[in-house]
Structure 1
Amino acid sequence: MAQAKYVETSANGLFSGVYFMGRWVSKVIANQNVMYTTNLGAALLLMTKSTDHLNLKFLSTIPNARFQPEIAIFIDDQSELRLKVDEVPDELQFETKKPHLVRITFAGNSDADEVWLHQQGLAINDISVPTSGKIIAVKPAGKTIAFIGDSITAGCWVKKRIPSSGYAAEQNYAAQTARKLNAQDIRIAYSAAGLLRYGTGGVPAAPRFVKYIDFETKAPQYKPDQVIINIGTNDRRFDGNLVQEQFLNFFNEIHQLFPNAALNALIPFNQSFATELQELATRFSKLFFLIETRDWPITYTDGVHPDLHGSEVIAQRLTQVLIQHYGKPYFTV
């Protein structure tokens, strides 16, 4: 997983020995108790001991969909395993009973999934081991970073222009930046959404979706150390002065939501509203830190969404900027 340091922690969901990283909530769906998320990039982490398999059961929330949601499974330092949710085996097998570090990430879905009104996100209703085994909740040892944005931050279209399988929330710039900094990755991003524009799947604009995971469910409370905002690409149809005002309102809203977090804003990679953001950064330098992106040599899948190489470029540049601005000791664990 290209990440050096994890620490043991307390379980924080329905299942003992499991740490849910990101915006997960407990829900009852189809008369079953589940842990549920609508955010690509949300993950669960654990360490196994004295067992050669892990029991897994995901609830199929979109049984007849052409493009099924997908998860990415990382076991120790092995290559990831991508699976459609409706094809996840009941048992995840290990070669030996030695301890294994397991990370499972909500990796892909479709813009057609009604995540806001119809509970078509990712739901897990069992993760356990035989009575002879044990699982221990673990989490990244470093800071907690909340990444707020649209499809680019969510991890859409990283591999190819095919829904779900073409997404790579586990490998996009947010995931890679968090791993480089040994940080927790709290993903708060939805496809096509903006400050003013609604996203796909019934998702409202950012001022609403930062506080909720669907139309009726408040997001769990977190206390991130850093917030990184990358939004505005989908607001290009709106007047620059209006969007600038919305940026300022949004930054203040995020500061109220996460009062102890350092607030950073990326200029969208297509340079949308660069001038407006630069003007705000000059006037409100104590409110947020602006990160320039014009000279980053990003490559794209479709001219808008960074591909795997472009994601690595962004993660490298963003990590460098953060370390330079906040100091290497700040991120050292």
Structure 2
Amino acid sequence: MNIPYTHESIRLTGRWDRGADCATATATGSYIEFAFRGKMAVAKFNIVSNAQPRLHLWIQIDGGDMIEANIDSHIRVLAKNDGDHVCRIIYKGGTELDRRWYQPLTGKVSFVGVQTETPIPITPDNRRTIEFVGDSITEGVLIDTDFNSGDVPLSTAVFDVMRCYQDDVCATYAWQTAEALDLRPIFMGYGAVGVTRAGAGDVPAAPESYLYNFDGSPITHESADYILINHGANDRPNGVERYLQKYEELLDVIREHNPTSVIVSLSAFVGTFHGELGEMIERYNQKHGCCVHFIDSFGWIPEVPLHPLRDGHSTVAKNLIPLMKEIVK
């Protein structure tokens, strides 16, 4: 039996464009869940425009261990025992330079549906939600360095296309924080993007891109209970004045679209204008009569490497989680 992605057995979390034939996401951390009875199901994807090497997924059954796999047109999952099961498929990572904003999209997950004999309604996920708005660090770029040991030099071109083997959104400070706080995560992280600049794959600057899944596709997901912004690592060259101006624009866009969400500003881990940002947030709150929370992350991790490894993300999470617990009550 072929089940469309709109079926009651399927749930999508993240920034998804819900088209007639498939649901499409370009942000890592977006995920699919589907429930079925029996032992086997097949998840179906439209990969016609996906670039090589194809992006990577995490596949998990019944909350157990996760297995990494390339996206493909058909992905078969086989449970050990007959019974009721839930499969989760997460957009783990891909090539940062793939097209994720303008057509044709080459770095996207286009989920068609599931083939299974007995789909069953999926249990509601009533957890509160948190949206992470950031850059390559938020999406988990270059978390793993062991793909190339250094024995064989890689050209820049080869290095860029092999990034799907080194990126992992589920190892990020953001994913770890959401898990620790029992929040359902929504991700908007794109490499090289800042509040003052566009990024990899021609993704526009954050104030211009926030309201869209990708070009021509306005976001339709419900506002998150909490929204955490981490921008600044890519904005240093454009100066503090422009940074603060564009950051304020991003706050305006986010607050207007999500009037009931709790907003958290987390300064860039490399320390970009962190003092000035904290002062601006204070002025912004006074001006608008609101309560945007500010967390200064300066000093949590070294400034090098720019992209934290797994242990660096864990260090950030260990610092961030107790501070977020004071906000998430």
TM-score between the two structures when normalised by the length of structure 2: 0.86
Q: Which AA in structure 2 matches 1:255?
A: R
Q: Which AA in structure 2 matches 1:19?
A: R
Does the residue aligned with 2:83 lie in a helix, a strand or coil? coil
- Aligned match of 2:148: none
- Aligned match of 2:112: 125
CA deviation after TM superposition for structure 1 residue 304, in Å: 1.0
Q: CA–CA distance in 2 between the matches of 1:47 and 1:313?
A: 35
- Aligned match of 1:324: 326
Cα deviation, 1:71-94, whole Å, max 9, x if unaligned, reads 1112234321110113x7542111
- Aligned match of 1:53: 40
5+ unaligned residues in a row in structure 1: which ranges? 1-10
More deviation, 226-235/156-165: 156-165
- Aligned match of 2:199: 199
Q: Which AA in structure 2 matches 1:42?
A: S
Cα deviation, 1:199-244, whole Å, max 9, x if unaligned, reads 1111111012111122211122422111100011111111211211
- Aligned match of 1:217: 217
Query: Structure 1 stretches (4+) deviating beyond 6 angstroms?
Result: none
CA deviation after TM superposition for structure 1 residue 140, in Å: 4.2
Does the residue aligned with 1:135 lie in a helix, a strand or coil? coil
Cα deviation, 1:25-48, whole Å, max 9, x if unaligned, reads 2236xxxx1111111100112343
Cα deviation, 1:38-67, whole Å, max 9, x if unaligned, reads 11100112343x31011111221445x342
- Aligned match of 1:308: 310
Q: Which AA in structure 1 matches 2:116?
A: V
- Aligned match of 1:42: 30
> Does the 8 Å CA contact 1:43/1:104 hold for their aligned counterparts?
yes
> Does the 8 Å CA contact 2:55/2:71 hold for their aligned counterparts?
yes
> Does the 8 Å CA contact 1:55/1:92 hold for their aligned counterparts?
yes
CA deviation after TM superposition for structure 1 residue 147, in Å: 0.5
Given the alignment, which residue of 112, 115, 119 partners 2:100?
115
Q: CA–CA distance in 2 between the matches of 1:62 and 1:240?
A: 39
TM-score between the two structures when normalised by the length of structure 1: 0.85
Matching of residues 1-333 of structure 1 within 5 Å: 13-27=5-19, 33-48=21-36, 50-63=37-50, 65-86=51-72, 90-117=75-102, 118-120=104-106, 121-130=108-117, 133-138=118-123, 140-160=125-145, 162-285=162-285, 286-296=290-300, 298=301, 303-326=305-328, 330=329
Aligned identity (percent) is 23
CA deviation after TM superposition for structure 1 residue 138, in Å: 4.0
Cα deviation, 1:290-314, whole Å, max 9, x if unaligned, reads 1111232x379x6011211222222
Q: CA–CA distance in 1 between the matches of 2:41 and 2:319?
A: 37
Instruction: Figure out how many residues of one structure are paired with residues of the other and give that number.
Output: 306
5+ unaligned residues in a row in structure 2: which ranges? 146-158
